[in-house]
Structure 1
Amino acid sequence: MGWLSKIFKGSSHRISEGQYHEKYRDDGVWNEPSNSLDTLSEYENDDIDHAIALSLSEEEQKRAKAIENASTLEEDELLARALQESLNADSPPRENGHAYQPVPFLFSSGFRICAGCNTEIGHGRFLSCMDAYWHPECFRCHACNQPISDYEFSMSGNYPYHKSCYKELYHPKCDVCKQFIPTNMNGLIEYRAHPFWMQKYCPSHEMDGTPRCCSCERMEPRDIKYVTLDDGRKLCLECLDSAIMDTNECQPLYLDIQEFYEGLNMKIEQQVPLLLVERQALNEAMEGEKNGHHHLPETRGLCLSEEQTVSTILRRPRIGAGNKIMNMITEPYRLTRRCEVTAILILYGLPRLLTGSILAHEMMHAWLRLKGYRSLSQEVEEGICQVLAHMWLDSEIISGSGSNVASTSSSSSASTSSKKGSRSQFERKLGDFFKHQIESDTSPAYGDGFRAGNQAVLRYGLRPTLDHIKLTGTFPC
C-alpha cells in the first residue's frame, strides 16, 4: 500500500511575512510668539515709541531661536534615520531566503488613527504595518494577545502573529516523535501521511526502524509502546482490545459468519475445522498446500485441502515484561481429508473485525470447492472471496450492534454478544479501514478481482454472479 507524501511551504494556510518599525519623535515643545500687547494706558504718550521698538526686538529674537530649534530637530531626525538605515543594512530580516527592506521612516503629524484602538496616535512612537498605523502596545498577536515587539511577524489571513505563536499553531508536528516536522534542504516542510488514518510523521521514521501495528498499520508513537507478539509483529493497544488470541476464542466468531452465509442461502454443509495459528505454522501449512492462492508477502488466512498436521494455539497467551507475549501454549492438530476442505487457518492476534473478514474470505474458498467450482482463475476466485469479506464487514458496520443483517437467525453465543456489545468507536473506524484496504488493494487478483466481482454483484446480484462464474469461469459484464 502506497503512502502519501505532502510538501508545502510553511503551512496549508496562506502566509505572508512582514516587518514593523517603531517611529520616534522627541517631544520638543516651544512657545508660540505672543501677538498681544499689554494695556498701555499707564504709559505716557512719549514712551509708546520706545515700547513698540522693544517689543519688535523681542519678537525677532524669538523667531531666530525657533528657526535654530527647528534646524537642530531636523538634524536629529536625519541622524536617527541614518542610524536606523545603518542597522537595517547590517542585518536585514530574512524568511525563506528573502530579505525584507525596512519601511521608510515616518513621523506622526498628530492626526493618525490607531487601527487597534481607533484613537488618535498623536506625537511620539507609532508603528506602520499592514497598511495601517498602530500604537506600539496596540499591535498584538492574534494567538497570545501580547504586543509584537519582534522585527518580523507572521500573518494568517488578516491577523498578525508572533513567529513562535504562528509556528505552534500552524506548523505540523510529527505524530510519532511529537516534534515539529523539519524543513528539507529547500526550506519546505515535507512529511509522510497514511492514506486512511492521515497520521503525519517525519520521513526519517520510515528508515529508523519505527514499527507499525500489524493490524491498523499506524506507526508507533514514541510515548506509546505496542505489544510485541511472539513472531515479532507489533500490535497497538487499541487493536489489542478486540484481538482474538486462541482457537477457542475464535469459535463464536466462526458461528457468527456461518450464520451470515446461511442468511445468503450459502450454507456450508460440512463442518470445517477452524484453527488459530502462529505465523510460522501458517507458513509451513502454506508450503504443504498444493492448490490455493496466497496473498504475499503476508498471508493471514488459508483454506487447506491437503492432509497435514498443524500446530494450533490452545490457550490465550499473557502479556509479560516489555509488553511481550509470553506462555504461548500450542498443540499439534492432525487434519484428515473428509471432503474437499480439510481446515481453515487464521493468523492469531488480530482484531475481531479483521479476523472475521479473513475468515469470511477463506470460507468462500471452502464454499466454492465444496460446490464444485473448478479451475477458476486467481483473479475470479480471490476477487469473489474478497467480495464476501467486504459484504461481511459492511453488515457489521451497518448493524452497529453487531448482529448481521444478512442472517436469518438471531441466535448467538454470550461471548459473541459481549464482543459485539462492547464495540467501540475505534473498532467501527477499524472496520472502515479494513473495507478501505480491500477497496484500494492494487494487486491484480485481490484488488482488480474484487472491483470486477463487486461491480458484477452490485449490477446483477450475488446468486446470478455465482451462477455465471460456474458456467463461464468469469464475472458477468
Structure 2
Amino acid sequence: HYLFLSVCIRRFSFCILYGNLCKKKSNKYQIPTHMNVLIKYRTHPFWLQKYCPSHEVDGTPRCCSCERMEPRESRYVLLDDGRKLCLECLDSAVMDTNECQPLYLEIQEFYEGLNMKVEQQVPLLLVERQALNEAMEGEKTGHHHLPETRGLCLSEEQTVSTILRRPRMTGNKIMEMITEPYRLTRRCEVTAILILYGLPRLLTGSILAHEMMHAWLQLKGYRTLTPDIEEGICQVLAHLWIESEIMAGSGSNTASTSSSSSSSTSSKKGGRSQFERKLGDFFKHQTESDTSVAYGDGFRAGNRVVQQYGLKRTLEHIRLTRTLPF
C-alpha cells in the first residue's frame, strides 16, 4: 500500500513514497521520513538507483562513467585527476595509449565498412584531464561539450603529454602515472585525436568514433559547419558504433576481461558481461536524451535524416549546402 507522487525535475524523478530504502547507503538504511508518513527520494532515470535528495549536494561521489552514486558499503577507485570510477566500469577501462590501439583499429574498420575510410594516419593518444584541457586551450577552433571534454580532434601543432604505461592501482587509488611528451606535427588537417584515459572500452570507443568523424570531416574538406550540424553528425556516428557493439555482444553472457585488447577481441566474438551490455545501453541512452543544443538536438536532427535518406546522401547534402536535408 503505497502513496505515490512523481514529479519530473530535469533528469531525475522526484518521488514521495511511503516506505523505501536509500540504495546509496545500503539496503538497510531507511530514507528519512517527512511528516512521519511520507518519504522523499530521487531515482536515476536509467539505472533506477534510489537515494536521498541530500546526496546531490553533500559531495557523494558519482562514477565518472556510469554516473551511479558510490554506495557506502563499497569504494570507487580514485583516479589521479580526482575522478572516481566504479569497479564494474574499471573492469574494461582503457588506461594507456598502447591499450587503446586495438580499439582504434576496430573503429577504423567500422568506418571502412561505411565506405568512410580515413586515409591519413592520425595519432591516437590517451591523456590525463589536465593535458586534454591544455590541448583544448591550444586549439583555435572547435566545439566542446561542457561540463567536461572527454575527447578532442586536434588540428594545431603542439606538444601533448600522453600516458605511456598503464598506472598501478594501490588499494582504491590509481598510482604512478607515467607520461611522456608527444610532439604533434601538422602533416594534414588533423594532427591527433586525444581521449581521456580511464573510461570503459565502450565509452572510450564511442568518444573515439565521435572524434574520428571530426577528423573525417576535416580531411574531406567539410568547412565552417555550425556546431549543431557538425557535433550532431559526429554523435550519429558514435551512436551507430555503440549500436553495432550492442548487437555484436547481445548473444553471450561471457564476462569481459580488464585489458582493452582482450575485451576488444571478445566483443567481436560476442563476449560481453551483463553489466557491460547494460553500460552500452546507458551510453546509447545518454546520446539520445542529451539536452544540449549542439550534441542533443544536433544528434536527433542528424539521426532523423540519416534514417530517412541514408548516411551517404546526408553527408553529400551537408558537403554541398552545409545544412541537413529536409
Specify if TM > 0.5. yes
The answer for the alignment partner of 1:387 in structure 2 is 236
Of residues 15, 18, 23, the one that matches 1:6 is 15
Normalised TM-score (structure 1): 0.62
Residues 1:441 and 2:298 aligned together:
no
State percent identity of aligned pairs: 79
- Within 5 Å, give how 1:4-403 maps onto structure 2: 4-8=13-17, 10=18, 171-178=19-26, 179-185=29-35, 187-321=37-171, 323-400=172-249
TM-aligned CA deviation for residue 414 of structure 1: 6.4
TM-aligned CA deviation for residue 186 of structure 1: 7.2
Which digits, 9 at most, give the CA deviation of each residue in 1:309-340, with x for residues without a partner? 0000000001113x111010000000000000
5+ long unaligned stretches in structure 2 = 1-9, 252-260
Report the AA paired with residue 241 of structure 1.
D
Which digits, 9 at most, give the CA deviation of each residue in 1:225-262, with x for residues without a partner? 00000000000000000000000000000000000000
When residues 397 and 333 of structure 1 are mapped into structure 2, their CA distance, relative to the original with a 3 A threshold, is: same
Distance 1:217 1:248 in 2: 27
Normalised TM-score (structure 2): 0.91
TM-aligned CA deviation for residue 306 of structure 1: 0.2
Distance 1:193 1:414 in 2: 34
- Greater radius of gyration (CA): 1
Which digits, 9 at most, give the CA deviation of each residue in 1:85-120, with x for residues without a partner? xxxxxxxxxxxxxxxxxxxxxxxxxxxxxxxxxxxx
3-state SS, counterpart of residue 330 of structure 1: strand
Aligned CA RMSD, in angstroms, stands at 1.5
3-state SS, counterpart of residue 474 of structure 1: coil
The answer for the alignment partner of 2:6 in structure 1 is none
Residues 1:473 and 2:322 aligned together:
yes
TM-aligned CA deviation for residue 266 of structure 1: 0.1
Which digits, 9 at most, give the CA deviation of each residue in 1:194-243, with x for residues without a partner? 00000001112112211000000000000010000000000000000000
Which digits, 9 at most, give the CA deviation of each residue in 1:405-443, with x for residues without a partner? xxxxxxxx7673146555101000000000000000000
3-state SS, counterpart of residue 209 of structure 2: helix
Distance 2:195 2:210 in 1: 11
Contact 2:249–2:267 at 8 Å: present in 1 too?
Answer: no
Distance 1:417 1:301 in 2: 23
3-state SS, counterpart of residue 180 of structure 2: strand
Distance 2:25 2:176 in 1: 32
Report the AA paired with residue 200 of structure 2.
P
Asked which structure has the greater RCO (Cα within 8 Å, sep 6+), the reply is 2
TM-aligned CA deviation for residue 395 of structure 1: 0.3
TM-aligned CA deviation for residue 187 of structure 1: 3.5
Contact 1:246–1:316 at 8 Å: present in 2 too?
Answer: yes
The answer for the alignment partner of 1:99 in structure 2 is none
Distance 2:88 2:245 in 1: 18
Which digits, 9 at most, give the CA deviation of each residue in 1:251-302, with x for residues without a partner? 0000000000000000000000000000000000000000111001100000
5+ long unaligned stretches in structure 1 = 11-170, 403-412
The answer for the alignment partner of 1:165 in structure 2 is none
Contact 1:229–1:324 at 8 Å: present in 2 too?
Answer: yes
